[in-house]
Amino acid sequence: MSPPHPLSVPRQDFVAAHGAPQGLGPREECVFWRAEELGGLELLKATYITHTFAPHSHDGFALGVIERGVEAFRYRGEMQYAPAGTVVLVNPGELHTGHSVQDGGWTYRMFYPAPRLLEDVATELTGRSRGTPFFGAAVVDDPDAAQLIRALHDSMERPASALERQSRLFATLVSLVSRHAAPRPDARSVGNENEAVRRARDYLEAHPGENVTLEHLANLAGLSVFHFVRVFRREVGLPPHAYQIELRVRRARELLRQGLPPGQVAAALGFSDQSHLTREFKRRIGLTPGRYAASAGSFKTGTLEAP
């Protein structure tokens, strides 16, 4: 699957909703896009140097990570300072500003989930309706959550399956709500659900090339999406998207040994292109599909070439 096409901003509806600048300086950059397979989730990555945001608010949450520099913003009557590596958590409807405190500006990655999405996460975590979560701190030092946000953005900027993108969004929201929502929710225990997980695993193994969604797997398991992801990881040791990639690479080895060219293997197994296959294959096997195929051929003839 190709990644969504980023839209250079300012784009008028985004400007109206988020206060993005009408023009960018020569070293400033702002890219905005929507992920339709994630319910139209909006994402932004930007570098601002001289721009100052006027007071504005969002209908949903504004969540992100500072990658470089320091952003300062007035929020709930106080100045907040977010240095590189920290996570920013802005609640819906809260007025805030934004500007740099350093000559070099700041770079950040943001995404804007609807309140209902975080409500669902909190409900699934606790087993009861809790309303819209509230983040008491606007800036938190949480390296794990920061990495999850970067990984979510990365999955949207490169070829990735719908299953991977959905799983990464889920993992990010669960981490933020469970660690930083006030009051902190007590997560209910997760059972084994062996049979439910087995049905989902059987489907993934029978359809390794299908761009299956998280919702489809959860329906097969007879569980909610959030509960399914938690029990799947508990049972298998990997989230669903990582298990799907593992199955695809395993099947790719079989097809390469049969003599199919890497490009054909990539297309048959749901990789976006040959380079996507190569990247995932090398991460797990230690050599490219072409080298693996050549080595497999030499084994058949009784010679051995070191990879």
What are the pLDDT digits (tens) for 72-131? 999 999 999 999 999 999 999 999 999 999 899 999 999 999 999 999 998 888 777 778
Please check whether residues 50 and 123 belong to one and the same domain: yes
User: pLDDT confidence of 190, banded at 50, 70, 90?
Assistant: low
- Determine, yes or no, domain membership for 268: yes
Task: Look at residue 3 in the predicted model and tell me its pLDDT.
Answer: 36
Domain that holds residue 252: 243-296
* CA-based torsion, 75, 142, 163, 234: positive or negative: negative
Please check whether residues 125 and 202 belong to one and the same domain: no
Q: What is the DSSP string of 77-99?
A: TEEEEEETT-EEEE-TT--EEEE
Give the best-scoring range by mean pLDDT among 23-27, 122-126, 256-260: 256-260
Q: How many domains does the chain have?
A: 3
Mean pLDDT of 45-65: 95
- Determine, yes or no, domain membership for 1: no
What are the pLDDT digits (tens) for 203-242? 999 999 998 999 999 999 998 888 898 889 888 888 999 9
Task: Look at residue 256 in the predicted model and tell me its pLDDT.
Answer: 93
Please check whether residues 20 and 57 belong to one and the same domain: yes
- Determine, yes or no, domain membership for 45: yes
- Determine, yes or no, domain membership for 188: no
Please check whether residues 46 and 163 belong to one and the same domain: yes
What's the mean pLDDT when you consider all of the chain?
85
pTM above 0.95, yes or no: no
Q: Is the pLDDT of residue 297 over 70?
A: no
Residue 76 C-alpha from the chain's centroid: 29
